[in-house]
Structure 1
Amino acid sequence: MVKMMATPVHYPRRILLIVTGLTPQVVTETLYALAVQAQEKFIPTEIHVISTGEGVERARLSLLDPATGFFFALCKDYGLQGIHFTPENLHIIEDAAGRPLSDIRTPEDNLRAADFIMHFVRNFCSDASSMVHVSIAGGRKSMGFFAGYALSLFGRSQDRLSHVLVNDPFESLPDFYFPPLQGKVLYSRHNNKPVHTTAARIMLADIPFVRLRNGMPSKLQDRQISFHETVEEVQSSLHFVSLSFDLPNQSVCCGGKSFKLPPLLLAFYLWLARRHVAASGQGAIHWQEADPQEFLTVYTEVVGPMSGSLDRVRQVLSNGFDRQYLEEKKAKINHRLEKELPLEASFYQIATFGDKPFTKYGLRLSPDKIAL
C-alpha cells in the first residue's frame, strides 16, 4: 500500500485524464503546463483522452503520428520520458448500440457521455497507488461538467482538477500545440498575420472541488452503476438537518433517517440534546459538572423503571461521572452516526469544546433543529 502524500512523485501511477472535442491541442498544452512549466511538476505515467469519434481521430493523427505527432515533439523538446500514451489510450464515447458517437447533441448522448466519463474516473481513483489529474479544457461543456462532477464523487485528497488557458491569438491558432523549445513563426488563418511562439503564454487554472468520496456510501465507490443512478443514490442520502427521538422504538431520527441505538447510548444522546435545547445551544457540560441523577432520569424514560439495567447503571455512576465514561459514550455514538449517515454525520455528532482538562461535551446542531 502506497502512503498517501500530496506530492506527485510519491505516486507510482500518475494519470492525466483529459476530455476533448475537436481541439487536441489541449492535450499538449495541459501536459506542457503540468510537466514543464509548473513549480511542482506533475509528469504523468499515462495519459488518457476521452472524446467523440472525430475528436479521437484528430487526436490520433495530430498527437500520435510517429513522424509528425506533437506529443512526441513535446516530449523530445523537453526531455519527458516514461509517459504511456498510445492510440489505445484514446477512448471513444459510444452510443447505446456500441457505435462511436460523432457528437453529443441529444439527452441520450449526454447520458452516455456521463456514464462513460464516470467509469474511467471511478476506476482510476480506485487504485490506491494512483494520483489522478483531470483536465476539462476541451469538448462540450457538458463533458467538462461530467468529468468534474465524477471527480467530486470519487476523487481523493491527492487528485486534481484543472482547465488550461492560452493567450490570444494562440488559443485559436490550429498549428499551435505548445511553445516549442526552438521558437517559430505561425500564421493566423483569418488574416495571415504572423506571430512568434515565444509570445505564447499557457496558464493552468487549478479548480477546487468538493470531495464527497469519504462521505459517500462505500457500496457506491465500487458498483458499476450509471451516472444518473449514482447521483440519485447520493442525493437520497442527503436530507434537511433535523434531530428527533422515538423512545417507544428506541431510535433516533436524523434528517428523516431513523435507526436504533442501544438504550444507554440513546439515553446519553437524548440527555445531551435536552441540555442543548434547554440552554439555547449552550448546554455543553464538563464531566465534573455532570449530574448522574439527571442522566438516570433520562435513562429511566428509555428503559422503564422496572428494567434490571437501571440498577447496574446507577451503581456505575454512584460516585459520579468520570471523563472516560463520557469519552466512551461520545465515541460510540459518533461512530454509529458515521456508519448510518456517511454524508451528514458531522451535523449530528457529539463535539468537544475547549482544551483538556476543561473539555466540555455537547452538540453543535442548532437547537431549533431538535424536536424533543
Structure 2
Amino acid sequence: MKKLAKKTTKTTDRSPPPSVFRFPSSVLIAVTGMSPAILTETAWALAQESPPVIPSKVVAFGTSLSRDRLRKDLIESGVWANLRRTLKAGPDELVFGDAGEHIRVFSHRGRELEDIRSPDDNAAAADFILEHLRQFAENPEMRIVASIAGGRKTMGALLYAAMTLIGRETDRITHVLADESLERRKDPSFFYPCNAGEAKGVTLADVPFVPLRNKFVELGRMPGGFTTLVRHYTRALRDDAAPAARVRFDDSTCTVTVDGTDARLPRRAYIVLKFAAHLSESNATPIGINVTDDSLRQFIAGTRLYPEWAGTATSDPDLRRELNAIRHAFDAHGISWKPGLRRDALRLPPFRRTEDGKRKTEDGA
C-alpha cells in the first residue's frame, strides 16, 4: 500500500492543474498582412514555453485583403484546426474563426481598408487598434499577448505604441522569427513546426515595453483617440518633468504669486484657479472645462470665498472665460505656469503651495 501511495503522489506531481500551465484567460492579439503563418507560428511557439501559454482566444487585426488570406490559408484549409489538434488545445483554447469577433478589419468612415498607405489610413488604423485593444486591457482577468510580427511595419509599430499607452506590466509583446528556408517553402507552405528539425527554426522573442498607464490613475476617463491620448500623455510627462512652481494665493486681493511674480486676477478667474489647484492637490482633476457636478459650489462654500457666486456656479459650468482670463494675465507677467488647453483646461503643471495670503486663517485654504 505504501508503494502504491508513493506512485500516486509522483504521478500527481508530474501533472499540475491545467490552469497553472495554460493561462486560460489570455488572448493572442496580432497584426496580420499577407503572411498568416505569423499567427500559427506564434501560437505554436507560445505553447512550447515552460509553462506552456495557450491563449483562450485569438484576435487578428488587418486589412480586408489580409482577412481574405486568413480565411483561405488558415480556416478554410483546415490549418488552424490541425494546429489545435497538434497542441491538444481544449474547447476553450485557441478559439479562432471567420467571425468578426476574431478577424477585425481596419475601417475608416464606414469603409474597410484594403491597405494602409496614406496618413488618413494610418490614423484610422491607430484609432482602431487602440479602441479594440482597450476592451481587453480593461479586463483585469485577461492577459494580452500582442504579436507585432505581421503586416506592414506601420501596423506593428502602432500595436506596440498602443500597448505602451494602455498595456499592463502583466501583458506581453512578442515577435516571432522563422528561418528563411521555412518561410520560402511553398509545397507545402510552412505554418508551424511538425518535427524537431523545423522546431529549431522558429524563435519567439519578447519585446520589452514601458506600460505608461501605470502613471495615470485617470485612464478610464481619458479620451479614446490615439493621437489625443498620445498628446495627453506627452503633456503630462512633460509637466511631471518640470520643476514644481512655488505658488501663493492672496484672497484679499485676488493675487497669485508664482515663483515670486505677482499677477492679479479678476475675482471669478481667481476662484477658478484656486479651484483647479484644489483639484490637483486632491488628484481629482477632470478632463475638459465643464464642471458638471457640485464640486465647484462645494469648494466655494467650504472656503467662504465670495459666496455670492456659489448660487450661479453650477448653472454656468463653462469656465472658458475665466480660464482665458488666467492665461492672459499670466502671459502679461511672463508666467508660464498656467492651466492647459481644451481637455486639459483644469490641469495644472506641478506646483507646491507656499503660505497663502491674509485670509488663510479665515478660509482654511
User: What TM-score, normalized to structure 1?
Assistant: 0.60
State the percentage of identical aligned residues: 30
Aligned-CA RMSD value: 3.3
1:180 aligned onto 2:164: no
Is the CA contact 1:252–1:261 (under 8 Å) kept in the aligned structure 2?
A: no
Is the CA contact 1:8–1:42 (under 8 Å) kept in the aligned structure 2?
A: no
Q: Which of the numbers 76, 80, 89 marks the counterpart of 2:89?
A: 80
1:71 corresponds to: 80
Consecutive unaligned residues of structure 2, counting only runs of 5 or more, are: 1-18, 260-272, 283-352
Residue 73 of structure 1 aligns to a residue whose secondary structure is helix
Residue 49 of structure 1 aligns to a residue whose secondary structure is strand
Residues 261, 39 of structure 1: CA spacing in aligned structure 2 closer, same or farther, 3 A cutoff? same
Task: Map Cα deviations across residues 75-119 of structure 1 (whole Å, 9 max, x no partner).
Answer: 1123122321111111111122x2221111111110111111111
Following TM superposition, by how much is the alpha carbon of 1:225 offset from its aligned partner in structure 2, in angstroms?
2.3
Q: For 1:212-231, what aligned pairs fall within 5 Å after superposition?
A: 212-216=212-216, 218=218, 220-221=219-220, 225-231=224-230
Consecutive unaligned residues of structure 1, counting only runs of 5 or more, are: 1-6, 184-196, 266-298, 311-372
Return the alpha-carbon distance in structure 2 between the equivalents of residues 169 and 179 of structure 1: 13
Return the alpha-carbon distance in structure 2 between the equivalents of residues 309 and 301 of structure 1: 13
Residues 61, 243 of structure 1: CA spacing in aligned structure 2 closer, same or farther, 3 A cutoff? same
Q: For 1:287-302, what aligned pairs fall within 5 Å after superposition?
A: 301-302=355-356
1:167 corresponds to: 179
2:286 corresponds to: none
* Number of equivalences: 249
Return the alpha-carbon distance in structure 2 between the equivalents of residues 309 and 116 of structure 1: 49
Return the alpha-carbon distance in structure 2 between the equivalents of residues 120 and 127 of structure 1: 12
Residues 100, 173 of structure 1: CA spacing in aligned structure 2 closer, same or farther, 3 A cutoff? farther
Is the CA contact 2:21–2:51 (under 8 Å) kept in the aligned structure 1?
A: no
Task: Map Cα deviations across residues 298-355 of structure 1 (whole Å, 9 max, x no partner).
Answer: x995465994799xxxxxxxxxxxxxxxxxxxxxxxxxxxxxxxxxxxxxxxxxxxxx
Residue type of the alignment partner of 1:178? Y
Task: Map Cα deviations across residues 265-320 of structure 1 (whole Å, 9 max, x no partner).
Answer: 9xxxxxxxxxxxxxxxxxxxxxxxxxxxxxxxxx995465994799xxxxxxxxxx
1:245 corresponds to: 246
Residue 169 of structure 1 aligns to a residue whose secondary structure is helix
Residue 39 of structure 1 aligns to a residue whose secondary structure is coil
User: What TM-score, normalized to structure 2?
Assistant: 0.61
Is the CA contact 1:53–1:100 (under 8 Å) kept in the aligned structure 2?
A: yes
Task: Map Cα deviations across residues 19-71 of structure 1 (whole Å, 9 max, x no partner).
Answer: 01100000000001001x21232110000001111111111111112xx3211
2:277 corresponds to: 260
Residues 115, 261 of structure 1: CA spacing in aligned structure 2 closer, same or farther, 3 A cutoff? closer
Residue 111 of structure 1 aligns to a residue whose secondary structure is helix
Residue 249 of structure 2 aligns to a residue whose secondary structure is coil
Return the alpha-carbon distance in structure 2 between the equivalents of residues 170 and 164 of structure 1: 13
Return the alpha-carbon distance in structure 2 between the equivalents of residues 172 and 60 of structure 1: 21
Residue 121 of structure 2 aligns to a residue whose secondary structure is helix
Following TM superposition, by how much is the alpha carbon of 1:162 offset from its aligned partner in structure 2, in angstroms?
0.6
Following TM superposition, by how much is the alpha carbon of 1:198 offset from its aligned partner in structure 2, in angstroms?
3.4
Residue 34 of structure 1 aligns to a residue whose secondary structure is helix
Residue 173 of structure 2 aligns to a residue whose secondary structure is strand
